[in-house]
């Protein structure tokens, strides 16, 4: 009975949120300043969440499971966290929706083509600014990137409310995407080579989510230290 009641209560809360808090500046559960999309108030299809994460990937289904269970599941239900997936294939070129290309300037293997990635990033960035006044923070995962540390996780959770995570495959992405300024940060989760950027993206999402107020509950959440918790 209690279970059924709490399910009902949660539903009621969510309904209320949708109806009344569409453009509130503070999240009704966490009290944390929430993100706003650039849409005209009242015309926005989603009400604010604390952190929006857009994932650009060739394999959105890989994310099922890790993000749809337990704490991350609840965080999304409570609109503390919003995770959207964009299938890169849909941005592919020509009849066959091509997304791979020979490396620019030569080299072995294939890389991920410029145009689909750039159009995906630009389509998302064009959706406006959020509360903190900045555009999205764009992260590309590769073993060549800067090693991810706890201090970095905390910084990201504090500084940003909108992330774009780009998951690479093949031999990586076309270097011109990085040189052209479409990526803010190249990140590595450790000194080993995986088959793609999906697992690193899930690792970052999980680590960042713990630092969104309300995700772990008051007892567990430790506010950030001024020194970044070193």
Binding site for ligand 4GY (CB under 6 A): 141-143, 168-169, 172, 188-190, 192-194, 196-197, 200
How many Å apart are CA 225 and CA 156, to the nearest integer? 14
CA of 40: how far to CAs of 14, 37, 118, in Å?
22, 9, 26
Is the CB of 119 or the CB of 188 nearer to ligand 4GY?
Answer: 188
Instruction: Give the shortest CB-205-to-ligand 4GY separation in angstroms.
Output: 13
Instruction: Give the shortest CB-87-to-ligand 4GY separation in angstroms.
Output: 17
Instruction: Give the shortest CB-188-to-ligand 4GY separation in angstroms.
Output: 4
Contact 120/88 with Cβ under 8 angstroms?
yes
Q: Angle 150-159/198-209 helices, nearest 10 degrees?
A: 70
- Structure letter (DSSP) for residue 54: E
Is the CB of 157 or the CB of 204 nearer to ligand 4GY?
Answer: 204
Phi, psi of 54 (to 5 degrees): -105, 125
Is the CB of 67 or the CB of 139 nearer to ligand 4GY?
Answer: 139
Is the CB of 139 or the CB of 209 nearer to ligand 4GY?
Answer: 139
Instruction: Give the shortest CB-162-to-ligand 4GY separation in angstroms.
Output: 20
Is the CB of 17 or the CB of 117 nearer to ligand 4GY?
Answer: 117
Where do the H-state alpha helices sit in the chain? Answer: 2-20, 70-77, 114-125, 150-159, 175-179, 198-209
Is the CB of 96 or the CB of 192 nearer to ligand 4GY?
Answer: 192
Instruction: Give the shortest CB-109-to-ligand 4GY separation in angstroms.
Output: 9
Half-sphere exposure (Cβ direction) of 81: Cα atoms closer than 13 Å: 24
Tokens found for residue 160 = 């940003």
How many Å apart are CA 204 and CA 220, to the nearest integer? 19
Instruction: Give the shortest CB-57-to-ligand 4GY separation in angstroms.
Output: 11
């Amino acid at each position: 009975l209690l279970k059924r009641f709490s399910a009902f209560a949660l539903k009621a809360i969510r309904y209320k949120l949708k109806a009344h808090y569409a453009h509130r500046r503070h999240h009704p559960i966490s009290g944390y300043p929430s993100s706003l999309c650039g849409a005209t108030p009242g015309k926005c299809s989603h009400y604010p969440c604390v952190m929006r994460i857009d994932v650009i990937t060739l394999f959105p289904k890989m994310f099922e499971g890790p993000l749809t269970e337990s704490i991350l599941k609840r965080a999304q239900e409570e609109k503390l966290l919003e995770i959207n997936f964009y299938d890169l294939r849909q941005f592919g070129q020509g009849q066959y929706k091509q997304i791979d290309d020979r490396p620019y300037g030569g080299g072995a293997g294939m890389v991920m083509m410029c145009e689909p990635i750039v159009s995906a990033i630009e389509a998302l960035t064009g959706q406006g600014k959020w509360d903190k006044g900045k555009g999205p923070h764009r992260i590309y995962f590769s073993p060549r990137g800067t090693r991810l540390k706890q201090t970095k996780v905390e910084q990201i959770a504090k500084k940003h409310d909108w992330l774009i995570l780009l998951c690479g495959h093949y031999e990586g992405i076309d270097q011109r995407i990085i040189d052209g300024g479409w990526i803010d940060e190249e990140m590595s989760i450790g000194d080993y080579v995986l088959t793609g950027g999906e697992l690193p993206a899930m690792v970052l999402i999980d680590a960042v989510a713990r630092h969104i107020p309300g995700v772990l509950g008051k007892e567990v959440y430790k506010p950030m230290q001024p020194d970044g918790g070193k």
